[in-house]
Structure 1
Amino acid sequence: MSSEAIKTSVFSILGNIAFASIKFVAGVLGNSYALIADAIESTADVFASILVWIGLKYSTKPPDENHPYGHGRFETLSTFAVIGFLVISATVIAYESIQNIQTPHEGPKVFTLFVLGGIILFKELAFHYVMRKSKETNSSSLKADAWHHRSDAITSVLAFVGISVAILFGDGFEAADDVAALIASGIIIYNAYRIFKPIISEISDEQIYEELSNEIIQISKSVSDVIAIEKIHVRKMGMVYYVDLHLIVNANFTVMQGHTIAHNLKDEVRKRLPEIADVLIHVEPDRVVVN
Structure 2
Amino acid sequence: MNQSEKKDLRYQAVQKVTLVGVVVNIVLALAQVIGGFIAQSQALIADGFHTLSDLITDFVVLVAAKMANKAPDEDHPYGHERIETVATIILGLALGGVGIGIALDAVDRLQNPEKLLQPGALAVSLAILAIVCKEGLYRYTYKVGKTVNSSILKANAMHHRSDAVSSVMVAIGVGASVMFSIPWLDALAAMAVAVMIFYMGAKLILDSTMELVDTAWETEKVESMLSLIGDIDGVQSAHMLRTRKMSSNVLVDVHIQVSPYISVSEGHHIAEQVMGALKEHYDEVSDIMVHIDPEDDETAAPSRDLPNRADILKQLKPVLKEVGLADQLDNVILHYLDGQIEVEITLSEAPSQRVLAQLQQHCSALANIRNVRVVHAITPA
Match of 1:253 in 2: 262
Worse-matched range after superposition: 95-104 or 260-269? 95-104
Larger Rg: 2
Runs of 4+ in 1 over 6 A off after TM superposition: none
**% same residue:** 27
1:166 counterpart (177, 181, 191): 177
Give 1:287 deviation, angstroms: 6.3
- TM-score, normalised by the number of residues in structure 1: 0.92
Match of 1:108 in 2: 119
Give 1:156 deviation, angstroms: 1.0
Pairing of 1:109-148 with structure 2 (within 5 A): 109-148=120-159
Give 1:52 deviation, angstroms: 1.6
In structure 2, relative to structure 1, the CA distance for the partners of 1:25 and 1:221 (3 Å cut) is: same
Match of 1:181 in 2: 190
Cα displacement string for residues 17-45 of structure 1 (whole angstroms, at most 9, x for unaligned residues)? 22212211111111111110001111111
Give 1:87 deviation, angstroms: 0.9
Q: Does 1:153 align with 2:159?
A: no
Q: Aligned AA for 1:77?
A: V
Matched position secondary structure for 2:70: coil
Give 1:141 deviation, angstroms: 2.0
CA contact (8 A) 1:71 1:238 kept: no
Give 1:106 deviation, angstroms: 4.1
In structure 2, relative to structure 1, the CA distance for the partners of 1:23 and 1:254 (3 Å cut) is: same
In structure 2, relative to structure 1, the CA distance for the partners of 1:257 and 1:21 (3 Å cut) is: same
In structure 2, relative to structure 1, the CA distance for the partners of 1:287 and 1:222 (3 Å cut) is: closer
Give 1:146 deviation, angstroms: 1.4
State the aligned residue count. Answer: 288
Matched position secondary structure for 1:245: strand
1:27 counterpart (36, 44, 52): 36
Q: Does 1:58 align with 2:67?
A: yes
**Higher share in helix:** 1
Matches of 1:42 and 1:282 in 2, distance apart?
50
CA-based RMSD of the aligned residues comes to 1.9
Matches of 2:34 and 2:190 in 1, distance apart?
17
Match of 1:213 in 2: 222
* Structure 1: tracts of 5 or more residues without a match: none
Matches of 1:278 and 1:19 in 2, distance apart?
42
Match of 1:75 in 2: 84
Matched position secondary structure for 1:183: helix
